[in-house]
Structure 1
Amino acid sequence: MSPSSPDNDRPPPARFAFDPWTWKEIAYLLANLPMAVAGFVYTVFLIGVGAGLSVTVIGLPLLALGLQGARGIGRLERGRARGMLGVRIEEPSPMARSRRDQGFFTWLWAGLKDPVGWRALLYSFIRLPWGVATFAVTLVGLFVLWPVLPYIARGLTNADRAMVRGLLSPSDELERRIAELESDRGVVVDTAAADLRRIERDLHDGAQARLVALAMGLGLAKEKLTDDPEAAARMVDEAHGEVKVALQELRDLARGIHPAVLTDRGLDAALSAIASRCTVPVTVTVTLSGRPAEAIEGIAYFTVSELLQNVSKHSRAAAASVDVWREGDRLMLQVRDDGRGGARLDGGTGMSGLAERLGAVDGLFVLDSPEGGPTTVTAELPWRDRAEAGTERVGAA
């Protein structure tokens, strides 16, 4: 067992001798009274003032701020238990920060329903009688029950350990996942807004501008139809060419939203299609016995698409490969190239954006790109069968 194992933080069995663990426990019990009094006063004041002023505009905000202060009390008590009782407890997830555009009331509601703050208040409230009792028993034991004080201290601090673990530890994995998902929700919303702006810009600067010019050209051709038929014919011919270009731009834009080949034929055909457009020869291997949910399939497609764009633009590679397979309840993607390497998550190639998007759906993104190459990107997505997803329609991240 390693020295850092949690089991090594547990105190040794109690005995009549006063070892360092016993003195730490005695000190902890004697400090219970002042800490309990301070926590009880804070709790009663906060609840009394917050409830009394709840009919005013400052009552609920004051309570929300007070709950954040209660988090500080919980942090202090966890530190005290860690240093003096050997209780190793992870810190709860920080309260998710609301984005500025969500407003004051979103922040207020998030603060008022903070479970970590409420549990810390409950801990502070119930500790007063316990703090008085443990202080009195320990003080008497120091002068009267000296021989058996180590056993008394161990029994009392075991109850303290249970209270700290029960009220000040994270709420299993659920609380942590809630905080992560609230944070990831902001990433998803921002990504969707950026995609809508990109589509609007592409429509405005591309197909829309071309169609406006086409309408003007056809209008001029109509005016010249009787006076100069040959010029009108040339203008109609030019307009026909513009129509073809506009249609291709619209197809490219639709492919960027959700390609038809992905819907009709799945990842194998869709990834082969984007690999054929890469400037570097790409080998695609898809080993899947079924198709994942449409949302997961779309995210996988666009992840590989962006990675292959990076290969074309930045890698200077001679060859690349794409591998897709299922491993348990995860969809695995790996894109590899033999280029110059040196890619970084903060290198301006969109890698950080991909990592955030995959993280928002409980995925993983791992980049290995030493200087000189090769570059290997491994991504994981949660697998959900298409049958379980039903008729879900979620746009790709």
Structure 2
Amino acid sequence: MATDYGQGYPLGSGERGRAGFRRLPAALRAPLEGRTWREFLYVLLSLPLSIIGFVFAVTMLSVGAGLLITFVGVPVLALGLASLRGFGALERIRARALLGVEVGDPHPLQARGGFMTWMGAVLKSGVSWRHVVYAVLHMPWAIFSFTVSVVFWTYGWAMLTYPLWFWVFPMHAGQDGIQIYGDDHHRVYLDNPFEIGLTSATGLLVTLATPWIIRALTTVDRVMVFGLLGPSRLVSRVVELESDRGVVVDTAAADLRRIERDLHDGAQARLVALAMDLGLAKEKLAEDPEAAARMVDEAHGEVKVALQELRDLARGIHPAVLTDRGLDAALSALSARCTVPVDVEVDLPARPAAAIEGIAYFTVSELLQNISKHSGARRASVDVWKVEGRLMLQVFDDGRGGADASAGSGLAGLGERLDAVDGILVVESPVGGPTVVTAELPWRG
């Protein structure tokens, strides 16, 4: 009888078969899984490809080094290294397709100019020489892994299926079965039911173990592809730092534009109006003192508003309480302005670097603003502590949840700011809540 699933549609026989197969233990599924066969195909292809790469690398290096006494050796070496980079690209594609290795392409050559410039870039590139190392080292490993995989895979399946084909020996080979021992006086064959069954059971064990052996062998291939054919950690770090520097510059420019806009539209506009009002009051002072007094009184009120706007703006740039008293007092003052009751707990043995302290403050500030505007929460909490040289922040609210840092929201920009200083932002916000945002920053005290 078909089993209902999902929206009431019956499972087909193929779907039932796949569901049943997935319920088997991993050890029993492994010999039939697609991953095992893809890894085995990778091992099989590695042997001819590694031999070709090894022979080409050794030949080009030998010929190029031998010809270095003349200028001809330099372009030979450069062309050989460039060809090995192409061979490395093929290996990365093969590793992605068969091993599931997501390895990025190495940093491209920075060669702007003619053929001489290109040759120099190829010869000086560490990526090129890492491809040479891969071509030389991979061949002996490919031979070893090919031999082990083929022997275990072949013998495992052969012994497992021995009951199906042992009849070939008495019918066509003139012997009772597989001969496992023989001399001039005595021979031992696998021919009785017990021995045939034992052979099949041994084959089953070998067959079940072989996928894990292949997986262990291809793990070494994964390491070699990552370490020798992928981008170097130093170059990746430089690219990451360049990207982070761009984020920092953009953020600083955006903050400057915001400050300029707030000054122009707020305090500056009020001060201009105040100057005009005081000028009118000065003109009326002689002929209408009472009107002048009223205008001065109104100007006094405008001064108070302008001062408050300037204080708010200064607090947005860097609050004085943070400089004077640290995160505990600054976050307590910040939580007092939130529309949701906030519990603040700061447990720090000392103060971190001023820049990190400022980033932590503005991170909590933006998160509390999000809680006030979007969460619908009844309560929230802020916890700050230090662990293993890192400053940890955690902001919790019991609101409606559904916050998504990958949707291009303010959380995404906040994550980029933290990333620019080697920080991390983790958002856990299931629909229906609660929302927990955890930030990690370097201490740099």
Decide whether the 8 Å contact of 2:131 with 2:228 is kept in 1.
no
Q: Which residue of 1 aligns with 2:88?
A: 74
Decide whether the 8 Å contact of 2:341 with 2:379 is kept in 1.
yes
CA–CA distance in structure 1, aligned partners of residues 438 and 339 of structure 2:
21
Relative to 1, partners in 2 of residues 1:371 and 1:21: Cα closer, same or farther, differing over 3 Å?
Answer: closer
Decide whether the 8 Å contact of 1:344 with 1:369 is kept in 2.
yes
Matched ranges for 1:58-97 at <5 A: 73-79=87-93, 91-92=103-104, 95=107
Cα shift readout 1:346-391 (whole Å, capped 9, x = no counterpart): 4565111111111111111011111111111011001111xxxxxx
Q: Which residue of 2 aligns with 1:252?
A: 312
Are 1:269 and 2:269 counterparts? no
Cα shift readout 1:328-350 (whole Å, capped 9, x = no counterpart): 11101011111111111145651
Decide whether the 8 Å contact of 2:381 with 2:395 is kept in 1.
yes
Matched ranges for 1:105-120 at <5 A: 118-120=125-127
Q: Which residue of 2 aligns with 1:216?
A: 276
Decide whether the 8 Å contact of 1:325 with 1:333 is kept in 2.
yes
CA–CA distance in structure 2, aligned partners of residues 354 and 116 of structure 1:
42
Q: Which residue of 2 aligns with 1:196?
A: 256
Q: Which residue of 2 aligns with 1:233?
A: 293
Kindly provide the amino acid, as one letter, of the partner of residue 371 in structure 1: V
Aligned identity (percent) is 63
User: What's the offset of the Cα at 1:300?
Assistant: 0.2
Decide whether the 8 Å contact of 2:398 with 2:433 is kept in 1.
yes
The alignment partner of 2:287 has SS state of coil
Decide whether the 8 Å contact of 1:92 with 1:176 is kept in 2.
no
The alignment partner of 1:225 has SS state of helix
Kindly provide the amino acid, as one letter, of the partner of residue 229 in structure 2: L
Q: Which residue of 1 aligns with 2:202?
A: none
The alignment partner of 2:436 has SS state of strand
CA–CA distance in structure 1, aligned partners of residues 47 and 237 of structure 2:
37
Are 1:28 and 2:41 counterparts? no
Q: 2:414 aligns with which of 347, 354, 363?
A: 354
Are 1:308 and 2:368 counterparts? yes
Please report the TM-score for the alignment, with normalisation by the length of structure 1: 0.65
CA–CA distance in structure 1, aligned partners of residues 377 and 119 of structure 2:
54
User: What's the offset of the Cα at 1:118?
Assistant: 1.7
Q: Which residue of 2 aligns with 1:391?
A: none
Are 1:371 and 2:434 counterparts? no
Decide whether the 8 Å contact of 1:39 with 1:125 is kept in 2.
no
Structure number with the bigger relative contact order (C-alpha 8 A, sep ≥ 6) is: 1
Cα shift readout 1:286-316 (whole Å, capped 9, x = no counterpart): 0111000001000000000000001111111
Kindly provide the amino acid, as one letter, of the partner of residue 27 in structure 1: P
The alignment partner of 2:338 has SS state of coil
User: What's the offset of the Cα at 1:181?
Assistant: 1.3
The alignment partner of 1:275 has SS state of helix
CA–CA distance in structure 2, aligned partners of residues 113 and 317 of structure 1:
62
Gaps of 5+ in 1: 10-18, 53-62, 97-104, 106-110, 139-159, 386-397
CA–CA distance in structure 2, aligned partners of residues 114 and 369 of structure 1:
49
Q: Which moved more, 1:72-81 or 1:308-317?
A: 72-81
User: What's the offset of the Cα at 1:83?
Assistant: 8.7
Are 1:168 and 2:189 counterparts? no
Are 1:121 and 2:141 counterparts? no
Kindly provide the amino acid, as one letter, of the partner of residue 90 in structure 2: L
RMSD between superposed Cα atoms in Å: 4.5
Q: 1:333 aligns with which of 393, 399, 404?
A: 393
Kindly provide the amino acid, as one letter, of the partner of residue 351 in structure 1: L
Relative to 1, partners in 2 of residues 1:278 and 1:127: Cα closer, same or farther, differing over 3 Å?
Answer: closer
Relative to 1, partners in 2 of residues 1:37 and 1:316: Cα closer, same or farther, differing over 3 Å?
Answer: same
CA–CA distance in structure 2, aligned partners of residues 112 and 264 of structure 1:
59
Kindly provide the amino acid, as one letter, of the partner of residue 382 in structure 2: V
CA–CA distance in structure 2, aligned partners of residues 377 and 354 of structure 1:
11
CA–CA distance in structure 1, aligned partners of residues 403 and 394 of structure 2:
15
Relative to 1, partners in 2 of residues 1:312 and 1:22: Cα closer, same or farther, differing over 3 Å?
Answer: closer
Decide whether the 8 Å contact of 2:380 with 2:397 is kept in 1.
yes
Cα shift readout 1:114-172 (whole Å, capped 9, x = no counterpart): 999923433567999x79xx9xxx9xxxxxxxxxxxxxxxxxxxxx999978753543x
Relative to 1, partners in 2 of residues 1:113 and 1:209: Cα closer, same or farther, differing over 3 Å?
Answer: farther
Count of paired positions = 311
Relative to 1, partners in 2 of residues 1:113 and 1:240: Cα closer, same or farther, differing over 3 Å?
Answer: farther
CA–CA distance in structure 1, aligned partners of residues 86 and 43 of structure 2:
27
Decide whether the 8 Å contact of 2:425 with 2:438 is kept in 1.
yes
**Larger gyration radius, structure 1 or structure 2:** 2
User: What's the offset of the Cα at 1:251?
Assistant: 0.5
Q: Which moved more, 1:160-169 or 1:375-384?
A: 160-169
Kindly provide the amino acid, as one letter, of the partner of residue 359 in structure 1: D
CA–CA distance in structure 2, aligned partners of residues 300 and 339 of structure 1:
22
User: What's the offset of the Cα at 1:32?
Assistant: 2.4
User: What's the offset of the Cα at 1:183?
Assistant: 1.4
The alignment partner of 2:437 has SS state of strand
Relative to 1, partners in 2 of residues 1:259 and 1:28: Cα closer, same or farther, differing over 3 Å?
Answer: same
